[in-house]
Structure 1
Amino acid sequence: MIASVTVVTADLDAAVAVYRDGVGLEPGAEHRVSGAPLPELDGRRSVVLSGTGAGGAVHVVELPGARAPEPLTTLGWAAAEILVADADEATARARAAGLRVLAEPRPVGAGGGLRAVQVAGPAGEALYLTQVDRAPEGFTLPSPRGPVGPVFIAVLASEDLEESRAALEGRLPARRVTDHPLPVRALNAQLGRPEGTLHRVSTLQLPGRCAVEVDQYPAGDPAVRVRRSPWDGGIVAVTLRGDGPGGIWTVPGAGGALVASG
């Protein structure tokens, strides 16, 4: 159901090179944006990059002067989770291309069926490169058809998890799977918290073997800021394709994060 995540960057060519060489996504032809979820992006240079198999793509849009926030330190869409066949190989490829590793590859979730590495993307977004050997109980997740697959989870940073989740559940064909405290290693590292600090995380299963993860960010933390315009860079919108109501809407409690659906 995730069609794409829209990433705003000051340098399209550099960002495309990172996603191609450091992640392994294949770029399509350059084009000019039309019908963007934000009017500031209409007419801008852009490229869509995809992995193997059906699922979400990364839509990179150039906005000269856009800033690149420090990953996982802003409310809103914080990360794109991309399917990989081997998390260790994905880590080596990312490092060889100069990407900064936020958290080394390690088993994640319940049941030991997932292994992931978190790296810093080129525009202030985080990228979770996740190997799915076996989906945890309650989830329906894709299986790799090549070294790098599609975007299959979008991660939302919220100052009010319950408000953000209620809006997603009310407008999307979403099924709640998890709601529990977890020690999110990359988030703790970025916020300067002890490694074992727990953060409340809730995941919603979507059709098409995709999901949205909502992370509760610590209230009042001076290290966390709000994106106020597309010039703040990073992931500004997630486009969903499926049975939900159409339109472009803002997720409450999540720093102006946009969803384009229908």
Structure 2
Amino acid sequence: MIASVTVVTADLDAAVSAYRDGVGLEPGSEQRTSGAPLPGLDGRRSVVLSGTGTGGVVHVVELPGARTPEPLTTLGWAAAEILVADADEATERARAAGLRVLAEPRPVGAGGGLRAVQVAGPAGEALYLTQVDRAPAGFILPRPRGPVGPVFIAVLAAGDLETARGALEARLPTRRVTDHPLPVRALNAQLGRPAGTLHRISTLQLPDRCAVEVDQYPVDDPAVRARRSPHDGGIVAVTLRGDGPGKTWTVPGAGGALMACA
């Protein structure tokens, strides 16, 4: 159901190279945007990158002068989770291409069926490169058809988890799977907190083996801030395919995060 994540960057060529060489996504031809979710993005240079199999793509849009925030410190869409066949090989590829590893690969979730690494994307977003051997209880997740698959989870950094999640559940065909405190290694490292610090995490299952994760951010932390404008680079919008509202809307309680339906 995730059709695309829209990433704003000051340097399209560098971002495309990072996603191609560091992640393994395949770029399409350069286009000019139309119908962009934010004002000021129409007519800009852009490229869509995709993995093997059906699912979400990364739509990178160039906006000269866009800032590059430190990953996982900004409210709004914080990360795209991309399916990989081997998280350890994905780590080596990312590191060889110069991407910064935020948290080394290790098992995540219940049941030991997932292994993931978190890296810094080229525009201030985080990228979770996740190997799915078997889905945890309650989830329906994709299996890889090649070394790198599609975007299958979007991660939302919320200042108010209850409000943001309630809006998603009211507008979208979701099923709540989790709501619990977890030590998010990459987030703790980025905020300079002890590795075992817990953060409330809630995940909503979407159709087509996709999901949205809503993370409660510590809004009292001076390192955390809301997006100020489209000139803050990173993920500005997530577009879903299928049922749901037919226009772009702002997710309340989540720092200006935009969601749309294709």
Q: What's the counterpart of residue 27 of structure 1?
A: 27
Q: What's the counterpart of residue 138 of structure 2?
A: 138
Decide whether the 8 Å contact of 2:219 with 2:225 is kept in 1.
Answer: no
Decide whether the 8 Å contact of 2:3 with 2:56 is kept in 1.
Answer: yes
User: 2:214 matched to 1:243?
Assistant: no
Normalised to the residue count of structure 1, the TM-score between the two structures is 0.99
CA displacement at 1:243 relative to structure 2: 1.2
Cα distance in 1 for partners of 2:44, 2:190 equals 31
Cα distance in 2 for partners of 1:7, 1:219 equals 23
Q: What's the counterpart of residue 157 of structure 1?
A: 157
CA displacement at 1:219 relative to structure 2: 2.6
Q: Secondary structure at the match of 2:245?
A: coil
Q: What's the counterpart of residue 41 of structure 1?
A: 41
Q: Secondary structure at the match of 1:21?
A: helix
Alignment deviations for residues 83-140 of structure 1 (CA, whole Å, 9 cap, x no partner): 0000000000000000000000000000000000000000000000000000000000
Q: What's the counterpart of residue 50 of structure 1?
A: 50
Report matched runs for 1:20-169 at 5 Å. Answer: 20-169=20-169
Cα distance in 2 for partners of 1:102, 1:245 equals 35
Q: Secondary structure at the match of 2:149?
A: strand
CA displacement at 1:245 relative to structure 2: 2.1
Report matched runs for 1:248-259 at 5 Å. Answer: 248-259=248-259
Q: Secondary structure at the match of 2:131?
A: strand
Cα distance in 2 for partners of 1:142, 1:11 equals 31
Normalised to the residue count of structure 2, the TM-score between the two structures is 0.99
Q: Secondary structure at the match of 2:222?
A: coil
RMSD of the TM alignment (CA)?
0.5
Alignment length (residue pairs): 262
Cα distance in 1 for partners of 2:114, 2:62 equals 33
Alignment deviations for residues 68-97 of structure 1 (CA, whole Å, 9 cap, x no partner): 000000000000000000000000000000
Cα distance in 1 for partners of 2:100, 2:77 equals 19
Cα distance in 2 for partners of 1:228, 1:37 equals 16
* Alignment gaps of 5+ in structure 2: none
Amino acid at match of 2:39: P
CA displacement at 1:161 relative to structure 2: 0.3
Q: What's the counterpart of residue 16 of structure 2?
A: 16
Cα distance in 2 for partners of 1:212, 1:168 equals 9
Query: Identity of paired residues, percent?
Result: 88
Amino acid at match of 1:199: H
Report matched runs for 1:201-240 at 5 Å. Answer: 201-240=201-240
CA displacement at 1:30 relative to structure 2: 0.3
CA displacement at 1:261 relative to structure 2: 1.5
Q: Secondary structure at the match of 1:187?
A: helix
CA displacement at 1:242 relative to structure 2: 1.2
Q: Secondary structure at the match of 1:222?
A: coil
* Alignment gaps of 5+ in structure 1: none
